[in-house]
Amino acid sequence: MASKHNLISRLTRIVELFQLHSTNGLSFEEVNEHLKSTFTDENQSISLRTFQRDLKDIESSLKIKITFNKIKKKYVLDENSTENSLKNSQLFTLESLKMLHIAQDVAESNFILLEERTATGLENYNCIKNAICLKKHLEFHYQKFDQYKSNRRKLMPLALKESKNRWYVVGYELQNGLKINQLKTFALDRMYQCEATTTFVLNNPINVANHFTDFLGVTTKPLDGFAEKVHVTIETSIEYGKYFSTLPIHPSQKTEIINGKTIINLQLIPTTELVAELLSHNHQIKVTQPKKLIETIKKILSQNLKQYN
């Protein structure tokens, strides 16, 4: 019987194969050949019965359906499996399986080099998830990086959000028993002694995902002078522009090539998190509009330069 490690690696590879060959599909024999060429150090060839069982496992766990097309005489990825409403869930589960596969390799080999892991706060995940699902207040101690002492906070938790490998809980904070009508985010790695307490009723439900649409990351406090979404234009070289094609700054990003330069266009509300992202690229990029954002960046660069005078 195949180990869990082999099973996970095989299932993720099968999904990848059908994503790569989504147009024409694959026969069972072609799938087997791909599996043999992928796992050269171990026998991952499978029987038709095992393959069909794998497809059932993929459908039940990932909600990705692969069916046999009688006309093409090949297995194909079902179009309904790639609807936008399912994509995030599927990708997250698939990435989790891949990471589990990698984790197994890390434990068994010395050729995968990882940076030392830092605390993520995910030990609080179950408590926070239960509080969200059961609509219970979340009470916890919270210590900001710039503070020496923690303080007790109370939250109406609504969602968990991941940004740049950090996890955050999003919700309405209560102060002196009153709800603050502004969504706040708290980093899980700065929370401890979490507990779900009394139930709450949210009279005016909010779509948390939409709340973050016009911002970068988790920061939703606009820079001074920016109350609404603006058009941000960035100029860079064609070579460096390829970096942004693989890792976009923001979902609104659109790029074009003009006069030998890559022009990146964004539609969002500028925040300190956006400025930090832009500055992280040093001289490789140049913000060309809006003027107010350019002045903000120039002021920060000037202040940084003074530190070295």
**What's residue 80's pLDDT?**
66
pLDDT of residue 42 exceeding 60, the answer is: no
- Give per-residue pLDDT as tens, 84-140: 445 556 666 666 666 666 766 666 667 777 666 666 777 888 899 999 999 999 999
Quote the tokens at residue 293. 């954002």
**What's residue 108's pLDDT?**
67
Buried b / exposed e along 248-274 (16+ C-beta atoms within 10 A): ebbebbeeeeeeeebbbebebbbbebb
Decide if 67 contacts 76 (C-beta within 8 A).
yes
- Give per-residue pLDDT as tens, 254-307: 999 999 999 999 999 999 999 999 999 999 999 999 999 999 999 999 999 999
Nearest to 25 by CA among 54, 53, 67: 67
Q: How high does pLDDT run on average in the chain?
A: 86
- Alpha-carbon gap, residue 39 to 8, rounded angstroms: 13
Helix boundaries (H) for the chain: 4-20, 28-38, 48-62, 84-108, 125-133, 208-211, 238-246, 272-279, 291-306
Instruction: For residues 210-218, give the mean pLDDT.
Output: 92
